[in-house]
Amino acid sequence: MKLTFITGNQHKVKEAKGIFDKFGIKLEHADLGYPEIQGDLVDVARYGAKDAAGRFGQPVIVEDAGIFIKSLKWFPGPYSSYVQETLGNKGILKLMSDVEDRYAEFRSVIGYCTPKAEPKTFLGTVKGRIGYKERGKHGFAYDPLFYPEGYDKSFGELTTQEKNDFSHRRQSLEQFAHWYKEL
Ligand code: ITT
Ligand code: NA
């Protein structure tokens, strides 16, 4: 059975393919777009998966992800795309220049849906902290800001393979993969 990841983000596709290799799941990619409703990551992934599966006519996954910063009252969260495009990493660092509590987490919600069934969602989280400057050239978007718990390297300093060992995306996709293989 074919499974297609509907996303406009090539970095996500690369990471997801690396993760699914371990589970023997072959992944296709289509940049079909889908409406992103107002709401939390689960709402966005659920609605997006249902919409995309209906239009694509085949089983799909979509992902809504974001970075949640405790001292900013969990901002940007669901607004992570908008904030990345407007404030960017430098803007986040500026907001946090005097902030001591650097705790943050990345969250990923995978939404799976077929044209006929109701959507299912799978959450993955990784804990860490926001650095004081951008570090590293790997990864994308917020990666150079984020130091996973127990590491002195940012996600931007890890290879895709290293990030894939324990990232938020690894955890959401792994949960999905276990469930999917039971189908
Ligand atoms: P879609 O087409 O899949 O929606 P997107 O890039 O818009 O792609 P999201 O809305 O899920 O993805 O992501 C919200 C923001 O968080 C966006 O700016 C992403 O680049 C960023 N982001 C998501 N996952 C990330 C990760 O693993 N590392 C760094 N930044 C990430
Ligand atoms: Na998005």
Q: How far is CA 173 from CA 16, 25, 113, 129, in A?
A: 7, 11, 14, 22
pLDDT by residue (tens digit) across 8-17? 999 999 999 9
Q: Verify whether residue 64 is a known catalytic residue.
A: yes
**Cα 81 to middle of ligand 1, angstroms:** 6
Q: State the pLDDT at residue 137.
A: 97
CB 130 within 8 A of CB 183: no
Q: Which is the catalytic residue, given 64, 98, 101, 165?
A: 64
pLDDT by residue (tens digit) across 15-50? 999 999 999 999 999 999 999 999 999 999 999 999
Question: Span 152-178, mean pLDDT?
Answer: 98
The binding site comprises 7-12, 36, 64-65, 140-143, 163, 168-169
ipTM of the predicted structure? Answer: 0.99
Domains, the chain, with CATH or none: 4-181 (3.90.950.10)
Question: Span 164-173, mean pLDDT?
Answer: 98
**Cα 44 to middle of ligand 2, angstroms:** 9
Ligand 1 atom closest to Cα of residue 9: 8
The token pair at 45 is: 């992934």
Backbone φ and ψ for 115, nearest 5 degrees, come out as -60, -25
**Residues whose CB falls within 8 Å of the CB of residue 179, separated by 6 or more in sequence, listed in order:** 120, 122
Cα torsion angle, 18, 23, 29, 32, sign: negative
Residue 1 in this model has a pLDDT that exceeds 80: no
Ligand index nearest the alpha carbon of residue 80: 1
pLDDT by residue (tens digit) across 113-146? 999 999 999 999 999 999 999 999 999 999 999 9
Backbone φ and ψ for 175, nearest 5 degrees, come out as -60, -45
pLDDT by residue (tens digit) across 79-98? 999 999 999 999 999 999 99
The token pair at 39 is: 């709401």
Residue 161 in this model has a pLDDT that exceeds 90: yes
CB 67 within 8 A of CB 106: yes
